[in-house]
Structures are given as structure tokens and as C-alpha cells.
Chain A
Amino acid sequence: EVQLVESGGGLVQPGRSLKLSCAASGFTFSNYYMAWVRQAPKKGLEWVATISTSGSRTYYPDSVKGRFTISRDNAKSSLYLQMNSLKSEDTATYYCARQGHRYWFAYWGQGTLVTVSS
């Protein structure tokens, strides 16, 4: 059974940094592109980042490019999201997802809440 478990969320001040983790199990992690998708409170879903199987290619929307960095450790079956220069609008639940064909998010974790506030 595919399992994705996020951790690392919490309350952080504007301008500070936070690193999220996602522990994957139940599949060969190194074979799949992985992604982060977020959802602000009472809002819709927004794709945040994608990383290739080896980690050599990463993709971001303009809203987080230059501030967020996605990475992975295939030996540990783990995905990460380093978030710097956080803003109040980054407040959201962050979901880890396994990608299928193109940007089809075929499996999702339960999410971890990040609150950016002073």
C-alpha cells in the first residue's frame, strides 16, 4: 500500500524558513516523480513543486520560485521542501504527492499545516 506521511509543519514568523519532509513507503520511491501541492485555508489546491526521479530536475510555479526548494533522498525514500522567506500567503496545508503520467497526482499524503504569522 502506498503511504505518504508529511511532517515538519508548524507556526513560523514571516521571513523565516521551514523544511517539510515526506516519508514514502509501499512503492519504489526512486521510480517516480514527486510533488508538493498546497491548500490555503478555505481555498483551492495549488501545485507548488515537482522533482524528477533522480532529483536532477525541479519545477516550480512563479509564486514560490526562488524561495522554495524541493529535494529528495532516494536511499531514505524521502521528499523534502525547503521554504525560505516565508510570507503570510504561504499559510496552507502542504501535501506530498506521487506523480503519475504528466502532472497527474496519483497518491496523496494527509498533509501538514504551515502557518506563517508573527
Chain B
Amino acid sequence: DIQMTQSPSSLPASLGERVTISCRASQGISNNLNWYQQKPDGTIKPLIYYTSNLQSGVPSRFSGSGSGTDYSLTISSLEPEDFAMYYCQQDASFPPTFGGGTKLELK
């Protein structure tokens, strides 16, 4: 199975700040990388698919990039509702696997 490693596991940040969350795959995944946001109540919101494609309704302050084994999610200017858990997930190879998550918290 492909292992997905996210960093950092915890990211303190301030409103209006630009932040980047990293995700590394144990082998190349050819841009088959997706991102999800999870709120404290458990609600999961899909954000980005295939590295850089925003799901309908996702604000443009979210963006994704990367290639090969290294990918990232960037939020250009943090809003209050962005403080949550973020997970990356690969679907290049069976079985699909998720990263361990990054907790974006208010500094």
C-alpha cells in the first residue's frame, strides 16, 4: 500500500495568514492526490481533487499543487471557518489511502 505522510501534524496560524500543508507519498502517484477538510463535529468536506482541481463551491483561497511524490495544500488568507483538520488521499493505486491529518489551529 502507498503510505501518505502529512506535515506538519499541527499548524498554529493566525487569521489572514497564508499557510501550506504538505503531503508526501511513499511512491509516485502521478497527481492522483485529493484533499479533504474535517470540522470538529465530524463533517467532511471535499476540497481538491487530482492535485489542483477545486470542488464546486470551495473558495478560491484554497489551492493545491505538486507532482511525483510531493504535494501541498495552500490557503492564501485564513478565514475563521478554515481552522479544521485536513487530510490528503491518494487514488493512484489500490487501495486508496489517506494521510494522518494536519490540524490547523488558531494561534
- Complex alpha-carbon distance, A105 and B91, angstroms: 10
Structural contact, B32 and A102, CB atoms closer than 8 A: yes
Are the C-beta atoms of B49 and A101 separated by less than 8 Å?
yes
Q: Report B83-99 residues with CB < 8 Å from chain A CB.
A: 87, 89, 91, 94-99
Q: Kindly state the separation between the CA atoms of A93 and B42 in the bound complex, as whole angstroms.
A: 9
A15 within 8 A of B: no
Bound together, the chains give a CA A105 to CA B36 distance in angstroms of 9
With A104-B49, A104-B91, A105-B36 in contact, is A44–B42 under 8 Å at CB? Answer: no
Closest to A95 in B: B44
- Tell me, yes or no, whether A88 is within 8 Å of chain B by CB: no
**Interface residue? A11 (CB, 8 A):** no
Q: Pick from A45, A61, A111: contact of B87, CB below 8 A.
A: A45
Given contacts A44-B100, A106-B55, A108-B44, contact A101 B89 (CB under 8 A): no
By beta carbon, the residue of chain A nearest B90 is A103
What's the dominant secondary structure at chain B's contact region? loop
Cβ of A103 and Cβ of B91 under 8 Å apart? yes
Q: Tell me whether A101 and B101 are in contact in the complex, defined as CB-CB below 8 angstroms, given that A106-B55, A111-B42 are known contacts.
A: no
Subset of 11 A-B contacts with CB under 8 Å: A45-B44, A45-B101, A47-B96, A47-B97, A93-B42, A102-B32, A103-B96, A104-B50, A104-B91, A106-B49, A108-B43
Residues of chain A in range 60-118 having any CB-CB distance to chain B below 8 Å: 61, 93, 95, 100-108, 110-111
Spell out A's residues near B (CB within 8 Å). Answer: 39, 44-47, 59, 61, 93, 95, 100-108, 110-111
Q: How far is the CA of A45 from the CA of B101 in the complex (A)?
A: 9
Sample of 10 further A-B pairs with CB below 8 A, known A47-B95, A59-B94 = A44-B87, A44-B99, A44-B100, A44-B101, A47-B97, A95-B44, A102-B91, A103-B91, A105-B36, A106-B49
For B46, the closest partner residue in chain A by CB is A106
Contacts of A93 in B (CB 8 A): 42
On whether the beta carbons of A46 and B49 are closer than 8 Å, the reply is no
